[in-house]
Structure 1
Amino acid sequence: MSGSIQSVERAAAILRLLGGGERRMGLTDIASTLGLAKATAHGILRTLQQEGFVEQDAATGRYQLGAELLRLGNSYLDIHDLRARALVWTDDLARSSGESVHLGVPHQGGVLVVHHVFRPDDSRQVVEVGAMQPLHSSAMGKALAAFDPVVRTQLLAADRPRFTARTVTGRRDVEDLLEVVREQGWASDLEESWEGLASVASPVHDRRGVAVGAVGVTGAVERVRESRDGAVRPALVAAVRDCARAVTRDLGGGRFRIN
């Protein structure tokens, strides 16, 4: 097992130091408190400052935590707030649909599953929290890309591998598909990511009207569709959209129009 990286440990120690106590400290105080050479402390602070994790007051030269840490912290809190507020509604969706339910957020060019409710039967299932789903073929990915311009740009700029014969990969075809998703307010994945599986998902918006996540159900294609070659079951679409609306309202997004 590899050891820790000393420079990262020292950077973390500086951030913790600035996060407590006086909040603003000079180079000499930081170095002496942590037992570092001034040159070493200065080099780490300069790097942290370049990345936005630390700021330096121009008048006093003292250091404090930077805005980038606040942004990352808010992102962490947003995900946990989203998950906390979705717990009851996703449980209800799993019970009413009889299928497994996923809650996902955009992450590194894909969809990160942050919550997973098992299908309410006795079948053997595996927890999928932490798994990644593709943007271009998964229902949650398409729901997010259709309502978030940043995610849409990432999807169109990235490689779009073909997972099954049904996977849509062409740029123009993907753009047309996202337009349909925006108009109807929900997305589907009918054996586009995995053979034999189908999903339906709808976006979740926060109080700013931003699509911060997506909620969806996944099951065998014959249960999600009315027939093998038919449309998605309307009752399943309605249940997913109702769940997304409920979570959106709990996040303070009720004043925004939700398709």
Structure 2
Amino acid sequence: MSETSGTTHRILSVLRLLAETAGTLSVKDVSQSLALPMSTSHRMLDMLMEAGFVEKDTARRRYGIGMEYFRIANLVAQNPVVAATLQPALDELTRRTGESSVLSIYLPADRAMTFVAKSDSPDSLRFEIPLFGQTSLVWGATGLAILAFLPKAAQDAVFEQAAPSPVSGKVLSRKEFDARIAKVARDGIAVSESEKLSDSVGIAAPLRGGPDRVIGSVGLTIPRYRYDRTKAALYAELLGRAATGIAGRGTLLRAAP
């Protein structure tokens, strides 16, 4: 990695850490979270502060999100692609199924995914899905729908950093890991039960950016007591249509890494 690309990677890591932290950070917090020297962490924060992406509480020696970072984040959130393409597709999926739908995007640098849009079920008994946090590809249908269509080298990297299920604590053997992704690749759809959320069923289809490129997934999250297995084929068909429609119209997604 060149010095320039290394600096860029560290700057982006600091920005991500700030976005995912509730509150402010000290130089020590950044250093420990990102395994960076204190001097490097201080320099990264100073660079971001000069650009307006970070603000400093001088009295407490802590750093938080700056107004320029906040401005750009809001511009992205209001991007017309989300308003005109992504959200209506999810709203229609939820209208047809009565269940919460989500759109996830693959984060190749971290071998992870993030939820970027959702449409909540009208039923009061539903799962609340937080947006924009990093989530593992190993557990849950939305992650599996991405993982199964990644190159083998990427799948290997995901397995090496795989954590136990957040619900059951189960750890997958390599044989189990391979069998899971082989089934999804064969079926073209991923189904999971209580892997990422207790008492839930997840169903997801891959979101493709081309014939050999997966960029995310579209999924449904359903309370297990409400899941009707006789509708599995209908759910799969609707998810496939939604994924195709989003990929076909979403210029933002076609540009995703």
TM-score normalised by the chain length of structure 1: 0.60
Match of 2:233 in 1: 234
Map 1:1-80 → 2, pairs under 5 A: 7-8=43-44, 11-12=47-48
1:197 maps to 2:200: yes
The structural deviation recorded for 1:122 is: 4.2
Which residue of 175, 179, 183 maps to 2:182?
179
The structural deviation recorded for 1:246 is: 1.3
Q: What amino acid is the match of 1:214? A: S
Q: Is the 8 A contact 2:86 2:250 kept in 1?
A: no
SS at match of 1:116: strand
Q: Which has the larger radius of gyration?
A: 1
Q: Specify whether residues 251 and 7 from structure 1 end up closer, same or farther in structure 2 by C-alpha distance, changes over 3 A only.
A: same
Match of 1:222 in 2: 225
* Deviation digits for residues 21-66 of structure 1 (CA, Å, limit 9, x no counterpart): xxxxxxxxxxxxxxxxxxxxxxxxxxxxxxxxxxxxxxxxxxxxxx
The structural deviation recorded for 1:200 is: 0.3
Q: Which runs of 5+ in 2 are unaligned?
A: 1-23, 28-40, 53-75, 252-257
Q: Specify whether residues 14 and 201 from structure 1 end up closer, same or farther in structure 2 by C-alpha distance, changes over 3 A only.
A: same
SS at match of 1:162: coil
* Deviation digits for residues 117-170 of structure 1 (CA, Å, limit 9, x no counterpart): 111234576451123433112101111111122542332212331345595712
Most deviating of 100-109 and 123-132: 123-132
Match of 2:114 in 1: 112
Q: Is the 8 A contact 1:202 1:240 kept in 2?
A: yes
* Deviation digits for residues 146-205 of structure 1 (CA, Å, limit 9, x no counterpart): 112254233221233134559571211111211111111110111222331010001111
Over the matched positions of the two proteins, sequence identity in percent amounts to 18
Q: Specify whether residues 15 and 163 from structure 1 end up closer, same or farther in structure 2 by C-alpha distance, changes over 3 A only.
A: closer
Q: Which runs of 5+ in 1 are unaligned?
A: 17-76, 253-259
Most deviating of 110-119 and 150-159: 150-159
CA distance in 2, matches of 1:160, 1:3: 28
Match of 2:131 in 1: 129
TM-score normalised by the chain length of structure 2: 0.61
CA distance in 2, matches of 1:132, 1:206: 20
Which residue of 170, 173, 195 maps to 2:173?
170
SS at match of 2:123: coil
The structural deviation recorded for 1:101 is: 0.9
Q: Is the 8 A contact 1:166 1:191 kept in 2?
A: no
Match of 1:139 in 2: 141
Q: What amino acid is the match of 1:8? A: M
1:245 maps to 2:244: yes
Match of 1:154 in 2: 157
SS at match of 1:193: coil
CA distance in 1, matches of 2:187, 2:25: 50
